[in-house]
Amino acid sequence: MTTPPPLPATGAWLPGDPVGERRFFTFATDRRFALDSGRTLSDVVVAYETWGTLDADGRNAVLLCHAWTGDSHAAGPAGRGHLEPGWWNAMVGPGKPIDTNRYFVVCANVLGGCQGSTGPSSPHPDDGLPYGSRFPVVTIRDMVRAQARLADHLGVFQWLAVVGGSMGGMQALEWAVMYPRRVRSLVAVATCMQATAQQIAWGAIGRRAIRLDPRWRGGDYYDAAPGDGPSEGLAIARMVAQVTFRSDNVFTDRFGRELADRGDTGDTLGMWQQFEVERYLGHHGNKLARRFDANSYLAIGKAMDLHDIARGRGSIERAIARIQVPTMAVGIWSDMLYPSYQQRQLHEAVAANDVQSEYVEIDSPHGHDAFLINGDQIAGPIERFIGDVSKTS
Amino acid sequence: MTTPPPLPATGAWLPGDPVGERRFFTFATDRRFALDSGRTLSDVVVAYETWGTLDADGRNAVLLCHAWTGDSHAAGPAGRGHLEPGWWNAMVGPGKPIDTNRYFVVCANVLGGCQGSTGPSSPHPDDGLPYGSRFPVVTIRDMVRAQARLADHLGVFQWLAVVGGSMGGMQALEWAVMYPRRVRSLVAVATCMQATAQQIAWGAIGRRAIRLDPRWRGGDYYDAAPGDGPSEGLAIARMVAQVTFRSDNVFTDRFGRELADRGDTGDTLGMWQQFEVERYLGHHGNKLARRFDANSYLAIGKAMDLHDIARGRGSIERAIARIQVPTMAVGIWSDMLYPSYQQRQLHEAVAANDVQSEYVEIDSPHGHDAFLINGDQIAGPIERFIGDVSKTS
């Protein structure tokens, strides 16, 4: 039996680590990049990957937007630089629904992330030390503004489609609202127009758990030794999320009341007879701590709480009125985190303006994660939807 | 503006604190009390309250079983010894649905609790110091066995009804299964026959947050100064529970995206623009830490995870077959923690044996807590149900 290596102090990708398929674009080296919070950043790096080739007319570009703990590696195998295979491998590639023989596909690590884009683990330009607690609050709109700079850099004036699930869907929505002339269609999966109080509550609990971890050190833990980072707080935060990503039914079917460890005595508070579901959640929490940075988890979670397409635009209706392109909203009936009524609301809000809109429901008991687990159900609709848009002028 | 006093190291009621309406029964002073875990306890104290008078024939006794952070104070005002008014004040009292002019009503703090019954904060008989980490795992059945000793002491051979919601409903069920001759009817509200994987998951997350709190000190924090107890871990655990006790709809209606604190800068990770729902959850978490002991929270939470009427009895069906008395199962359609299908299952399992059973649903958007918030909806049915049973021989 091998002992797992100690958890890193931070699960961030750091310069010097294997680059894998990542490429890097740096901007705001002269003029500072203004954030919604009123703060600014300079020397902003966006890590991204591309698949396929941009047409001469630049009209076959598809932007994929990743979710909370995702990164730019949407497609491709695991390997050096990529601990995990692409998060939408089944959907993206040659001959696949989002066909890289046909489309130029781009995916960028979000601002605030930890897989190469500027985030809390990145060096602060002033002193080269990690931002840590100095990293500003960022919003979904800030993430999208950074992606717009990348689009300029790549020569993409207009995306054929912007596609994303969960937090990726928030970005897709903001793209269509912020830059209506730069988006020809959007696909928003298992997401919402504004974070609800319950969604904020889940996020806030996870954040408070990370901050409780004494190894978080107020956010400045980057010089800690391996195993001495805030992995326990991050694991707890992930456990909260993991339950909301799944469903009661599936947990019952998969784990029921199976025991992972009977324990030999009844004398340690609460540890006698650990259930399999506890072991599973603990495993996933620890696994995330190995590949993800706790501060990025905080920063991105906060960005999701702040997500509200109505903010500064008067109302949801006025924001949605800016969307004048074909829209596909995808829901999952068993999703307890982003219940399907939220995607139906999006569809209805767009359709109310006589704009082409459709609602597709994934029939799966797997909850929120069905957008990854049962991607096959939306493969056909997304392939057809983007294909149809590509035929329009 | 007054500063709140520092949180106690433990929210437990301790000898020397005002007694209020509590009375105490001590047993196992000679022979030790055996627990499901294989461990034993001695000098077990049960704190309880009673209302009304036991009839000469002893047949008008109703047992109320409290939920996770409840205690014996089911009815009556707040005051010295009772930080809060009775948890079912609207339901229990003279002329109320559970009429104390008519019935002898008993409510006991559960084993493992912190309001006078033996629990982790109680003195260990060997050295008079708090049990702390030495406190054994207890189960719902252990709680019920302790209540049975109290019933003997009070001269109640048979309860007219055993009534409880949430964890109280688990006790009511176990009463009917463990002591079928001692129960004439049961009312089980917003509860289940066995804890599901999702319920265990929520509990496990809260426990892990308490254990992460460095002020938990492995469970031995009772000599800590005020303000130096594991209140932050307990608050986080409570926040998880609090979200599952309510509902998406009600959170949206009540809090929406209202801000509690805009914050003056965007420079502290995740603290810019705190939402009202975060403030609310934090307030309730802190409030619980003031009145409840973190170790009791762990112990009782674990007891709920271990709740399974089938354990050691072959199957749910064989356990339920022991119930041969009128049963009322109450569900709440918006309950995400103990979804109403679980109470319908209970009703159907009892009815399958040709035993009188009814299912009543509370029509409320308030989620699990509706069993307290909308108690008015079940006041009539419970009054009628117990009244009918009281007329039988």
CATH class entry, domain A200-300 = mainly alpha
Please state, in angstroms and rounded to a whole number, the distance separating the CA atoms of residues A308 and A330.
19
Chain mean pLDDT for chain A? 94
Over the stretch A292-345, which tens digit does the pLDDT of each residue have?
999 999 999 999 999 999 999 999 999 999 999 999 999 999 999 999 999 999
Catalytic site positions of B: 166, 335, 368
Catalytic site positions of A: 166, 335, 368
Confidence at residue A7, expressed as pLDDT on a 0 to 100 scale: 86
**From A239, which residue of chain B is nearest by alpha-carbon distance?**
B205
pLDDT tens over chain B, length 393 residues: 467 778 888 999 998 999 999 999 999 898 899 999 889 999 999 999 999 999 999 999 999 999 999 999 999 999 999 989 999 999 999 999 999 999 999 999 999 999 999 999 999 999 999 999 999 999 999 999 999 999 999 999 999 999 999 999 999 999 999 999 999 999 999 999 999 999 999 999 999 999 999 999 999 999 999 989 999 999 999 999 999 999 999 999 999 999 887 665 544 454 567 899 998 998 898 899 999 999 999 999 999 999 999 999 999 999 999 999 999 999 999 999 999 999 999 999 999 999 999 999 999 999 999 999 998 999 999 999 999 999 997
Q: Cβ contacts (< 8 Å) between A40 and chain B: which residues?
A: none
Please state, in angstroms and rounded to a whole number, the distance separating the CA atoms of residues A47 and A23.
6
Smallest Cβ distance to A219: which of B137, B269, B308? B269
Confidence at residue B1, expressed as pLDDT on a 0 to 100 scale: 47
Inter-chain touch B252–A198, beta carbons under 8 Å: yes
Residue A294 in contact with residue A10, Cβ under 8 Å? yes
Q: Which of B12, B90, B104 is nearest to B52 (CA)?
A: B104
What the block records as the tokens of B389 is 């049973």
- DSSP letter at B331? E
User: What is residue A293's three-state secondary structure?
Assistant: coil
Please state, in angstroms and rounded to a whole number, the distance separating the CA atoms of residues A88 and A65.
11
Residue B111 in contact with residue B120, Cβ under 8 Å? no
* Chain A nearest CA to B204, separation (Å): 6
According to CATH, the topology of domain A23-194+308-390 is: Rossmann fold (3.40.50)
Smallest Cβ distance to B277: which of A136, A197, A301? A197
What the block records as the tokens of B167 is 């964890």
Please state, in angstroms and rounded to a whole number, the distance separating the CA atoms of residues A145 and A178.
9
Does B236 lie at the interface with A, CB-CB under 8 angstroms?
yes
Confidence at residue B282, expressed as pLDDT on a 0 to 100 scale: 87
CATH of domain B201-300: 1.10.1740.110
**Cα-to-chain-centroid distance, residue A148:** 17
pLDDT of A175 > 60? The answer is yes
* Chain B nearest CA to A311, separation (Å): 10
Inter-chain touch B243–A198, beta carbons under 8 Å: yes
Q: Which of A102, A97, A92, A54 is nearest to A72 (CA)?
A: A92
> What stretches of A101-182 show up as alpha helix (H) in DSSP?
140-154, 167-178
What the block records as the tokens of B261 is 């604190």
b/e burial code for range B305-325 (CB count within 10 A of at least 16 → b): bbbbbbeebeebeebbbebeb
CA end-to-end span of chain B:
61
Residues 322-381, chain A: which have Cβ within 8 Å of B?
336, 339
Distances in Å between the Cα of A342 and the Cα atoms of A274, A305, A359 are 36, 15, 11
Inter-chain touch B133–A39, beta carbons under 8 Å: no
Rounded to the nearest 10 degrees, how much is the dihedral formed by the CA atoms of B213, B219, B220, B222? 80
b/e burial code for range A367-386 (CB count within 10 A of at least 16 → b): bbbbbbbbbebbeebbbebb
Domains B23-194+307-391 and B201-300 share a fold: no
* Chain B nearest CA to A55, separation (Å): 41
Question: Amino acid identity of A329?
Answer: A
Does A248 lie at the interface with B, CB-CB under 8 angstroms?
yes
Confidence at residue A272, expressed as pLDDT on a 0 to 100 scale: 63
Over the stretch A1-38, which tens digit does the pLDDT of each residue have?
467 778 888 999 998 999 999 999 999 898 899 999 88
Q: What are the backbone angles phi and psi of residue B239, rounded to the nearest 5°?
A: -60, -45
Over the stretch A332-391, which tens digit does the pLDDT of each residue have?
999 999 999 999 999 999 999 999 999 999 999 999 999 999 989 999 999 999 999 999
Q: What are the backbone angles phi and psi of residue B184, rounded to the nearest 5°?
A: -95, -15
Does B298 lie at the interface with A, CB-CB under 8 angstroms?
yes
Please state, in angstroms and rounded to a whole number, the distance separating the CA atoms of residues A390 and A60.
7
CB within 8 Å of A152: residues ≥ 6 apart: none
CB within 8 Å of B163: residues ≥ 6 apart: B62, B63, B64, B65, B98, B172, B186, B187, B189, B382, B386
Q: Cβ contacts (< 8 Å) between A119 and chain B: which residues?
A: none
Confidence at residue B117, expressed as pLDDT on a 0 to 100 scale: 98
Confidence at residue A268, expressed as pLDDT on a 0 to 100 scale: 47
Residues 48-107, chain B: which have Cβ within 8 Å of A?
none
Confidence at residue B272, expressed as pLDDT on a 0 to 100 scale: 63
CB within 8 Å of A57: residues ≥ 6 apart: none
CATH superfamily of B23-194+307-391: Alpha/Beta hydrolase fold, catalytic domain (3.40.50.1820)
Known binding residues of A for substrate: 238, 369
Residues 213-232, chain A: which have Cβ within 8 Å of B?
213-214, 219, 232
- For chain B, the structural domain boundaries read 23-194+307-391, 201-300
Please state, in angstroms and rounded to a whole number, the distance separating the CA atoms of residues B142 and B146.
6
Tell whether residue B228 is among the known ligand binding residues: no
For residue A164, the cross-strand partners are A65, A188
Over the stretch A93-148, which tens digit does the pLDDT of each residue have?
999 999 999 999 999 999 999 999 999 999 999 999 999 999 999 999 999 999 99
Optimal mutation site among B68, B192, B254, B269, interface A, most CBs of chain A within 10 A: B269
Total residue length of chain B: 393
Neighbour count for residue B101 (Cβ, 10 Å): 11
For residue B189, the cross-strand partners are B165, B330
Out of A54-58, A270-274, A292-296, A316-320, least confident range: A270-274
DSSP B64-104: EE--TT--S--SS--BTTBSS--TTTTTEETTSSEETTT-E
Residue A262 banded pLDDT, cuts 50, 70, 90: low
Residues 175-204, chain A: which have Cβ within 8 Å of B?
194-198, 200-202, 204
Does B140 lie at the interface with A, CB-CB under 8 angstroms?
no
**From B262, which residue of chain A is nearest by alpha-carbon distance?**
A37
For residue A26, the cross-strand partners are A45
Optimal mutation site among B142, B205, B258, interface A, most CBs of chain A within 10 A: B205
Residue with tokens 């269509």: A176
Strands B327-332 and B357-362: parallel
